[in-house]
Structure 1
């Protein structure tokens, strides 16, 4: 079964001199690691893509295994 769903573009951090946030905003610390998107398709396919588009799927088999339990058409954006 083919799917037209695809991973979104990664969210990128914006440096700021003042960490004060507006009431409707959130922030997180910048951790060192790989910024990546994890996606799960309805055909049980899981993909881990770096922010530059590289395929990191084989490098993180434990994340692939955990992502298999995500709902169809799910994307997670984060640092690993």
Structure 2
């Protein structure tokens, strides 16, 4: 698959595909591709997001 300028792509070999959203007020939401809330299953990711990412951040990736 060609990479657009400024992007990096990698294949998904294993794990979970999820979107992480950090909202104002300290709310973090981790959702699967089917929009299932997975936040409670990964408290370490929630804590890391709160400690390292600014509000209004959204990430999509594999964990």
Pairwise TM-score range, normalised by the shorter structure: 0.7 to 0.9
Unaligned segments of structure 1, at least 5 residues: 1-18
- Secondary structure of the equivalent of 2:48? helix
Between the two structures, name the one with larger relative contact order (CA 8 Å, sep ≥ 6): 2
Q: Higher helix fraction: Structure 1 or Structure 2? A: 2
Q: Which has the larger radius of gyration?
A: 1
Unaligned segments of structure 2, at least 5 residues: none
Structure 1 residue ranges (4+ consecutive) displaced by more than 6 angstroms after TM superposition:
none
Q: CA RMSD in A?
A: 1.8
Q: Aligned residues, how many?
A: 61
Q: TM-score, with normalisation over the residues of structure 2?
A: 0.82
1:38 has 2:20 as partner: yes
Q: Higher strand fraction: Structure 1 or Structure 2? A: 2
